[in-house]
Amino acid sequence: MRVLAVASECFPLIKTGGLADVVGALPAALAGAGITVTTLVPGYPAVLSAVGAAPVVLDLTDRFGPARLRRAKVHGLDLLVLDAPQHFDRPGNPYAGPDGVAWDDNGLRFAALGFAAAKAATALGFDAVHAHDWQAGLAGAYLRLTAARRVPSVFTIHNLAFQGQFPPALFPRLGLPATAWRMDGLEYFGSVGFLKAGLWYADRITTVSPSYATEIRTAAGGMGLDGLLRGRGGQVSGILNGIDEAEWDPSRDKALAACFSAADPAPRAANKPALQARFGLAPDPAAPLFAFVGRLAWQKGMDLVLDALPALLEAGGQLAILGTGDAALEARCLGAAAAHPGRAGTVIGFDEALARLCYGGADAVLVPSRFEPCGLAQLCALRYGAPPVVARTGGLADTVIDANEMALAAGCATGVQFAPGDAALLAGAVQRTIGLYRDRPAWAHIQANALGCDVSWRRSAARYAALFDEIVAADG
């Protein structure tokens, strides 16, 4: 079976977040299930540079201006690159200019991506389309409403909070039938809804964890789309993300001071002083060292970490913060480091090598998100033997086994959970973690369980393969 994946980013070509990791890792995992994935991505400068003079396989110069699809194989990925300079050959990141301001033509840019997906799927003989997040949301609409032949599609929600809403003046420029401008279509509270279109026109909808699939069908978690999602019934499912275990491998990770594995965890201890040194923390091997790696944002609970910091420090802990995001939170993080030298450290920015050292050197990793569709930080933390302290929400609840009395007795705990959105509860979870850390046999067992977790794509790839088989069979 041939599947066309459609996304706005794909690791290692272009990445701003976890979406890229998923899109980059899933093709190899699905190959083991007999599915050949080709990934369609926009021709940003970095992508065009990577593919070079790749051959043109389809000319798309009609609806959205000059555009060509180029075929290439890079980093083991089969690619189709949408070479449309007027839309994608510009500085900045995929969504915004160097000043951080979103491009004012993002609606047209990503409509062109959805249009290209439908054209490629029908012209190049794909059996199904897998569209990721709002940027690929119109692929399903073009497939259903304009395509030359029927190609079924799956739409995956990576984060329902990002919905891709644009002014109604965009609709006439899309080339879709006028009948699509209605509540049972693209119209969403007077706007053109890209994510809403993805949900409406796809044959099946997935999101990135079972718990998140449940949460988004409630008024509290559905962000205005819960009614539509409930209406899709059994066509909505949650499939956990994994990580590429070859890419995230502590036994050969050059970012670490010392490599280690589940079979030989002892060298891991050498990473802690290296991490303490990088963050200006006191070289104290007995101090429980917590790390936060990710966006400094309200969703990620960074404010809760700062509010819980006094309790963490009072209990003898240290904190390393690595990330970038909200300017006010960045300032608070830097202020916390300045106020507590040797005990709290902050590095503002995205540094993957340093992130790897955080996972491999910290005693525990904080993931206190208010909501979290799946989360990758806790998967990386498990892989690198840093038991995660997570909010009980979305994929965090599905991937970390809380070290409660029952789990400790059964010997299956992999981390600590707490109810989301409350700094006092996070502080309590941190104190509970420190208590476990100081019980060396108990902590060693939790850490070994974390290192032994299967965080790969194997099981999830099998579920995606079954889903593609189902929609293709139903369509045939």
Question: Is 214 in the same domain as 319?
Answer: no
Question: Is 441 in the same domain as 462?
Answer: no
Does residue 193 sit within a domain? yes
Does residue 248 sit within a domain? no
At 100 the pLDDT is: 87
Judging by DSSP bridges, how do beta strands 68-74 and 77-83 pair with one another?
Answer: antiparallel
Q: Name the residue range of residue 340's domain.
A: 266-451
Q: What is the pLDDT of residues 85-95, one digit of tens each?
A: 999 999 999 99
Question: Is 179 in the same domain as 228?
Answer: yes
Question: Is 37 in the same domain as 55?
Answer: yes
Question: Is 150 in the same domain as 234?
Answer: yes
User: Please, what is the average pLDDT of the chain?
Assistant: 97
Q: How far apart are CA 370 and CA 299, in angstroms?
A: 5
Question: Is 467 in the same domain as 410?
Answer: no
Question: Is 302 in the same domain as 441?
Answer: yes
At 147 the pLDDT is: 87
Question: Is 344 in the same domain as 388?
Answer: yes
Does residue 260 sit within a domain? no
Q: Number of structural domains, the chain?
A: 2
Judging by DSSP bridges, how do beta strands 344-348 and 318-323 pair with one another?
Answer: parallel
Structure tokens, 412: 């299956």
Does residue 255 sit within a domain? no
Q: How far apart are CA 133 and CA 43, in angstroms?
A: 18
CATH of the domain at 336: 3.40.50.2000
At 61 the pLDDT is: 82
- In the chain, the amino acid numbered 63 is R
Does residue 252 sit within a domain? no
Question: Is 327 in the same domain as 439?
Answer: yes
Q: Phi-psi bin for 463: left (phi > 0), alpha (psi -120 to 50), beta?
A: alpha
Q: What is the pLDDT of residues 366-407, one digit of tens each?
A: 999 999 999 999 999 999 999 999 999 999 999 999 999 999
Does residue 254 sit within a domain? no
Q: Is 119 annotated as a binding residue?
A: no
* Number of Cβ atoms within 10 Å of the Cβ of 53: 8
What is the reported pTM? Answer: 0.93
Does residue 259 sit within a domain? no
In this prediction, the residues of the chain whose per-residue pLDDT falls under 50 are none
Question: Is 209 in the same domain as 331?
Answer: no
At 174 the pLDDT is: 98
Question: Is 138 in the same domain as 283?
Answer: no
Q: Which residue has the tokens 């589940």?
A: 262
Question: Is 463 in the same domain as 400?
Answer: no
Does residue 251 sit within a domain? no
